[in-house]
Structure 1
Amino acid sequence: MSKIDRRLRDARSIELDNAFYVEDGTWIESLTIASNAPFDVESLLADISGVTVFYDEEIPTASTDVQIRRVTILANESYPFILGLVLRQETIPNRIVLQDGVFEVVATAQDWDHFRELADEIQETLGEFELRSVTQDEAPGEPLDSGRLKEVLISKLTDDQLAVLETAFNHGYFHIPRETSETELAEELGIAQSTLSERLRTAERNLLELIYGPRQE
């Protein structure tokens, strides 16, 4: 992931969606790569030793400024491999994403001692560790594979709805406090404010239906 990030100048994020250990340090990995400019996967990975591309698919978005590709590769990972560190401490990896040269890892540990061992090993092997938050929860959460969730979500929304959500997100509409208004978003998209409000509500409803199912009338 780090090698891809260094080679892809316009990288936005690289997420490890899933991985299966084969043998001798070799993994089958599924990655979601987002970039602010178009890129060719074969050319990107051509000079990285020990990497073979099995599958490459572009994930459609409503934005012309972002390209997202889902890639499956066979990769020989040298130590230390961030996923290997997480698994060795008997913790469940919920999310691993590389952005701006920094790994963000969400993981579920059995108890505080297991978590401290993981934190110590990451600090010792990678040289830096920052704890963002800790939550006590009975449910461990889903292990990785959020990339497929992205595909499902995108398939349930129209291009217009995706455009509204992406623009709203990128301009800080969902931040607290909000960094932009519906009027400004409508001007950015060149649509009426009433149209923007309708598309936002429809997109949010469609996303909620994926979680809760259709609302009973």
Structure 2
Amino acid sequence: MAKLRRELDDVRSIELDNAFYVEDGTWIESLTVTSNAEFDPEAVVEEISGVSLFYDSEIPTASDDLEIRRLTILANESYPFILSLVLRQEAIPNRIVLQNDDFEAVVTTRDWDQFRAMADEVQETLGEFELLSVTQNEDPGEPLDSGRLTEVLVSKLTDEQLAVLETAYENGYFDIPRETSATELADELEIAQSTASERLRTAERTLLELIYGPRE
């Protein structure tokens, strides 16, 4: 993932959706790559030693300035590999994403002692570890499949809804405090404010329905 990141000039994030160990440090990996610019996966992968491309597909977006691709690769991961560190401690990897040159991982452990053992190994092998948050949950969640969420979302939202969500996000509409107003958002999209607000609410409702299910 780090090697792929270095080969891409304008990448936002690389998420490890799934991985299967083959042998001798070789893994089959499914990745979701989000970039601010178009890129040729085959050409990029050819520049990386020990990596070959099996398959790639583009996830449609409403923005001309955003490209999301899903790659399936065969990669020889040199030690230490973040996923192997998590699995060695028998923890469940729920999400692993590389963003801004930092790995962020969401994992589930049985108890605090197991978590400390994993954290200590990550600190020792990678040289740095920062705990962002801890929650107690009876449901451990699905291991490494959150990347499918992106594909599901874009298939459930219309192009207009995607456009208003992406524009709102890019312009800081969801930030605290907000960096742009509803009027400025509508001006950016060149639509009426009422239309922008309606599309935004509809898109947000669709996202919530995917999580909680339709209201009765």
For the aligned pair, the TM-score class normalised by the smaller chain equals: over 0.9
Write the distance in 1 (CA, Å) between the matches of 2:71 and 2:186.
Answer: 34
Q: State the partner residue of 2:164.
A: 164
Within 2, Cα distance between the matches of 1:179 and 1:108?
A: 35
1:133 aligns to what SS in structure 2? coil
* Corresponding residue SS for 1:214: coil
Structure 1: segments with no counterpart, 5+ residues: none
Per-residue deviation, 1:215: 2.5
> Aligned partners of 2:89, 2:20: CA distance in 1, in Å?
17
**For 1:83-104, what per-residue CA distance to the aligned partner results, in whole angstroms no more than 9, with x for missing partners?**
0001101111111000111001
Q: CA deviation at 1:213?
A: 2.8
Offset of residue 76 of structure 1: 1.1
The answer to whether 1:11 aligns with 2:8 is no
Q: How many residues align?
A: 216
Q: Could you say which residue in structure 1 is the equivalent of 2:152? A: 152
Trace 1:191-210 onto structure 2 (pairs within 5 A): 191-210=191-210
Counterpart-to-counterpart distance in 2, 1:126 and 1:208: 37
CA RMSD of aligned residues (A): 1.1
- Report the equivalent of 2:211: 211
Aligned to 2:128: 128
Residue matched to 1:177: 177
Deviations 1:175-215 (A, max 9, x none): 23322211111111111100001101111122222223332
Separation (CA, whole Å) in 1 of partners of 2:156 and 2:196: 18
Deviation at 1:143, TM superposition (A): 1.1
CA distance in 2 between counterparts of 1:67 and 1:163 reads: 13
Alignment-derived partner of residue 53 in structure 1 = 53
Q: Report the alpha carbon displacement of residue 149 of structure 1 after superposing the two structures with TM.
A: 1.4
Query: What is the rounded CA distance, in whole Å, between the counterparts of 2:173 and 2:15 in structure 1?
Result: 24
Q: Name which of structure 1's ranges 165-174 and 3-12 shifts more when overlaid on structure 2.
A: 165-174
For residue 164 of structure 1, what is the amino acid of its counterpart? V
- The whole-number CA distance in structure 2 between the counterparts of 1:107 and 1:184 is 39
**SS of 2:147 mapped into structure 1:** helix
**Secondary structure, in 3 states, of the residue corresponding to 1:64?**
coil
Aligned to 1:28, the other structure's residue is in SS state strand
Q: Match for residue 115 of structure 2? A: 115
The answer to whether the aligner puts 1:64 opposite 2:91 as a matched pair is no
Correspondence for 2:33: 33
Q: TM-score, normalised by structure 1?
A: 0.96
Using the alignment, how far apart are the partners of 1:184 and 1:162 within structure 2?
17
Name the aligned partner's letter for residue 123 of structure 1.
Q
Distance 1:47 1:6 in 2: 10
User: Identity of paired residues, percent?
Assistant: 76
Deviates more, 1:102-111 or 1:173-182: 173-182
The structural deviation recorded for 1:49 is 1.8
Q: What secondary structure sits across from 1:114 in the alignment?
A: helix
Unaligned segments of structure 2, at least 5 residues: none
User: Structure 1 counterpart of 2:69, which letter?
Assistant: R
SS at 1:173's partner residue? coil
Alignment match, 2:95: 95
SS of structure 1 residue aligned to 2:186: helix
Q: Which moved more, 1:23-32 or 1:136-145?
A: 136-145
